[in-house]
Structure 1
Amino acid sequence: MCERHGAHLSRRTFFVAGGAALVGTVFPAAAEAEAEETRTVTGRFEPGAPDWYYLPVTVPAGVREIEVRYRYDRPQPPPGLPGNALDIGCFDPSGHDLGDHRGFRGWSGGFRDGFVINAGDATPGYLPGPIEPGTWHVILGPYTVAPQGMNYAVDVTLRYGPSGPPHIPVPAPERARGRGRAWYRGDCHLHTMHSDGHRTPGQLAAAARAAGLDFVASTEHNTPSAGLRWGEHAGPDLLIIDGEEVTTRSGHWLALGLPVGHWIDWRYRAEEPDRFRRFRDEVRAVGGLTVAAHPYCPYVGCSWGFGYRDVDLVEVWNGPWTADDEHAVRTWHDLLCAGHWVPAMGNSDAHSESDVVGLPQTVVFADDLATRSILAGLRAGRAWLAESSRVGLALRASGPGAHGARPAGIGQRLRVGPGAPVDVVLEVSGAPGCEVRLITPGGVAHSAAVPASGSAVVRWSTRAREAAWVRAEVRRPVPTDTTPDTMVALTNPIFLGV
């Protein structure tokens, strides 16, 4: 069986060579079947192919396991053009329409060459469960197609017999042993072998503990499968929050604080803003947060295309400091100056074992070390960013006199009249040889050097009419490959005025 797919096809139209309609891969009824049977479908994607192609597979009763393997050619593209890349996932007979949670059974993008699903187990990235009879769909996503086109082959193997014992999820608890109302350190953008990461969940949890983190968020690409096992690695010292990195063709966003097993669809582009808002609203409805991730990431499909009006936070610092992060901070600063504040956060986006978990990290003020408390602190912007747990920081602003306005901290408002004097104090530690900058809508308003001890107390005075807000940066005068210096810490603003 062979199919061709080109730019002239709609996203849900299937054709085969010669114009015949694709009827799917049909297996015999269970009574006629052997213990195992494999069918192969071959096809071709042309440049400009639709984002998604659904290969139907008719599964009879009596199947205990389905296995899918795929391959495609990788011709050398002309200089400057991307080569072939093909993603893969799966829906069961419950449905594969946009947002259909019932039918989603897994996604691995282009990281694996196939998957296996049965009642009690599944390849990481996929959801175990019964192999119900009916029409399953293998979803193929031609991420990039070289000018020469892409030939592919999909092998579908069905294995018959008793389904075996069901899978028993082990989710992480929603609370860990905290310190009451306090600042907690976390990393909310992380990957394991459940998507395109190289660490196991256990290795990631160990790396988080070694980095001095209090919490992490599980954000696998387009799948909630890791959440079914995080309870094996959480503990009283480490809160694990369920989430997903929603990987669209127009940018990636984090859905933080999802219920265990809850899946958020990614099959839309920036030209379809209503679809994005639909799933943004779905995340908010279950108490979660939406985060624009690495907005200036230079890879195909990674840069942010949905704007900032419809998200709860923006990830301004992603992994080791680069020009992409500098650009993100500048955009965020411009939003602040325009009167639109989207709280900032920073995460490591760690994939490989060489990626440092907690570089950077978000330090959030929360009522407790519990999922809802951490999310509430992030939503309110009661957070600052650091390159590691060695860095300490406190920023506060106060008005005149003992009976004046109540002092305000990061993410809060100091309610004083426009002419009232405002005292700003920044305390920093673990930052030897760095420069502290206090920044307002007018730019850098005050700077000071941190001595070799790494600790400093910086004071500055202003009035609310002169600065609608103030935020802090701590930078090391050491260049990276793409920037003249290195960010060490960054705060959300304190707002000044009634």
Structure 2
Amino acid sequence: MEEQRQWFKGDTHLHTTNSDGNLTRDQLVEECIDRGLDWAIITDHNFSTVEVPYRVGGFQVMQGEEITAKPGHLNLWGASLPFKAPYKLETPNDYKAVIAEAREAGALISVNHPFCKKCGWHMPLDDFDFDCVEVWNAPMHIDDMTNLRWWHGELLRGRRLTAVGGSDYHRDHYHITRLVGNPTTVCLAKSNSQEDIMRALKNGNCFVTQGPNRTMLYLTSNGAYAGQTVAWEPGIRAHIRVEKLKVGHRVEVYHNDTVIYRWQAKKSGTHEASFEVPGKGFVRAEVLYEYKGIAKLIYKKIVAKLMPLDKDIPVPPFAYCFTNPVFFE
């Protein structure tokens, strides 16, 4: 019998005063705990702030580093790295050498915000062996939806990459925002130890949501969860349970490139649905929302100031939560 697992909430991408954040490591950990997270990976730029994983009460602090150079950013998680900055990272081969060394040391490799207009990935994504892709970076914005569409396209090609989210936390603004855990990656694991969370991330046993106390989205089929594989047969069904769904938000379920279930919430609360899986491939679920009226105007003003390259782009529906796929073979 498989050992019992549960859901643990965490943040995969965080910075401290050891690079360009404004909180010390201890202050950042305190904020993570206060936000209701169970684990965090501290990923300072070109610096390993956490030499060994450690716990603060029941909270797990994990090893990580964001390898940072102009051609692109990588998060390396869950291992003591055999190298230290400064790095020579100018060519694809430079990055491949770092990836190979990190993987040999036991690290997971995540490509960060690949289609970010400010600091995206400027090399062919197909040429690299990543474990994960940071689809959702910082509060949801247009580049994140580009990441999400690219990742879905990779799934259609048969490439299995775990989609994760990370707040890329550096600081809060105007004493009114609390950006740690926005977004939150929620992992299904035996415990919140570094070993178990790394295994969940590698296998895609996770979903991503706007925050630790926001919408929770669970996708199952025949006892399998996100990241797991089920033997397809005619009539097999999948199930979703959406908790803390907000009024007006829309639930969509994809089978490969086709939406097989869609439902818009008329009230806030919990929604459950079961549906037939029409064939082999994968099923994944997401919750979408749209800015309207004053909220849309406020978003446009923020974008004009913080992301001026997006100011003339139509505002699309945004993801509020999404799962990794259940696969059917």
1:424–1:460 Cα contact (<8 Å) kept: yes
Indicate yes or no: 2:327 matched with 1:495: yes
Match of 1:412 among 228, 232, 247: 228
CA spacing shift, 1:263–1:443, aligned 2, 3 Å:
farther
Stretches of structure 2 that go unaligned for 5 or more consecutive residues are 301-309
| Alignment-mate amino acid for residue 361 of structure 1 | T
Q: Secondary structure at the match of 1:340?
A: coil
- For residues 4 and 256 of structure 2, the distance between their equivalents in structure 1, rounded to whole angstroms, comes to 34
Could you tell me the TM-score, scaled by structure 2's length?
Answer: 0.85
* Contact kept in structure 2, 1:435 and 1:477, CA below 8 Å: no
Residues 69-468 of structure 1 mapped to structure 2, 5 A cutoff: 181-224=5-48, 226-227=49-50, 234-259=55-80, 263=84, 266-269=87-90, 272-299=91-118, 301-308=119-126, 309-354=128-173, 356-390=179-213, 391-398=215-222, 407-417=223-233, 420-433=234-247, 434-465=249-280, 468=281
Shift of 1:494: 0.7
Q: Is the 8 A contact 1:227 1:261 kept in 2?
A: no
Displacement after TM superposition at 1:323 (Å): 0.7
Determine the C-alpha separation between the residues in 2 that align with 1:304 and 1:360. 24
Structure 1 Cα separation of the partners of residues 4 and 56 of structure 2: 17
Q: How far is the alpha carbon of 1:185 from its aligned partner?
A: 0.9
Aligned amino acid, residue 205 of structure 1: V
AA partner of residue 324 (structure 2)? N
Indicate conservation of the 8 Å contact 2:92/2:123, yes or no: no
Decide which structure has the larger Cα Rg and report it. 1
259-268 or 272-281: bigger deviation: 259-268
Deviations 1:119-140 (A, max 9, x none): xxxxxxxxxxxxxxxxxxxxxx
Query: TM-score normalised to the size of structure 1?
Result: 0.57
Compute the displacement of 1:353 (Å): 2.5
Query: Cα distance, 1:453 vs. partner?
Result: 2.9
1:376 partner SS = helix
**Distance change >3 Å, CA 396–CA 180, structure 1 → 2:** closer
Q: Percent identity?
A: 28
Q: Which moved more, 1:441-450 or 1:244-253?
A: 441-450
State the 1:264 CA deviation.
6.3
C-alpha distance after superposition, 1:361-420 (max 9, x if no partner): 11111122211111011001111101112222211123xxxxxxxx32111111123xx1
CA distance in 2, matches of 1:496, 1:257: 29
What's the CA shift for 1:180? 6.2
Q: Secondary structure at the match of 1:325?
A: helix
How far apart, in 1, do the equivalents of 2:245 and 2:255 lie? Answer: 22
CA contact (8 A) 1:227 1:260 kept: no
* 1:262 Cα deviation from its structure 2 partner: 5.7
Distance 1:416 1:220 in 2: 43
Distance 1:264 1:413, change over 3 A: farther
Q: Return the letter of the residue paired with 1:198.
A: N
Cα distance change on mapping 1:439 and 1:415 into 2, 3 Å: same
* 1:358 CA displacement: 0.4
Q: C-alpha offsets along residues 132-153 of structure 1, whole Å, 9 cap, x if unaligned?
A: xxxxxxxxxxxxxxxxxxxxxx
| Structure 2 residue matching 1:377: 3-state secondary structure | helix
Aligned equivalents of 1:227 and 1:262: distance in 2?
14
8 Å CA contact retained: 2:113, 2:134: yes
Deviation at 1:288, TM superposition (A): 1.1
Tell me the distance in 1 between the aligned counterparts of 2:180 and 2:257.
34
Structure 1 unaligned blocks of 5 or more: 1-178, 399-406
- Once the two structures are superposed, residues 258-282 of structure 1 have per-residue CA deviations (whole angstroms, 9 ceiling, x without a partner) of 228963664223xx32322221121
Q: Which runs of 4+ in 1 moved over 4 A?
A: 228-231
Quote the Cα distance in structure 1 between the aligned partners of 2:13 and 2:84. Answer: 16
Q: 1:230 deviation in Å?
A: 8.0
Q: Residues 256 and 265 of structure 1: is their aligned pair in 2 closer, same or farther, counting only changes over 3 Å?
A: farther
Find the aligned partners of 2:17 and 2:193 in 1 and give their Cα distance: 25
What count of residue pairs does the alignment treat as equivalent? 301
Query: What CA distance in whole angstroms lies between the structure 1 residues aligned with 2:120 and 2:207?
Result: 24
Q: Which residue does the alignment assign to 2:288?
A: 475
Report if the CA contact (8 A) 2:137-2:168 is conserved.
Answer: yes
Contact 2:52–2:62 (CA under 8 A) maintained in structure 1: no
Q: In the TM superposition, what is the alpha-carbon distance from 1:455 to its structure 2 partner?
A: 1.2
Does structure 2 conserve the Cα–Cα contact (< 8 Å) formed by 1:313 and 1:345?
A: yes
What's the counterpart of residue 304 of structure 2?
none
Distance 1:486 1:220 in 2: 28
C-alpha distance in structure 2 between counterparts of 1:228 and 1:369, whole Å: 18
Cα distance change on mapping 1:423 and 1:228 into 2, 3 Å: closer
- Superposed CA RMSD in Å reads 2.2
CA distance in 1 between counterparts of 2:287 and 2:149 reads 15
Q: For the Cα contact (< 8 Å) 1:432–1:455, is it kept in 2?
A: no
- Asked if 2 retains the 8 angstrom alpha-carbon contact of 1:293 and 1:304, the reply is no
Q: What is the rounded CA distance, in whole Å, between the counterparts of 2:70 and 2:56 in structure 1?
A: 36
Whether contact under 8 Å (1:216, 1:240) holds in the other structure is: yes
Paired residues of 2:218 and 2:242 also in contact (CA < 8 A): yes
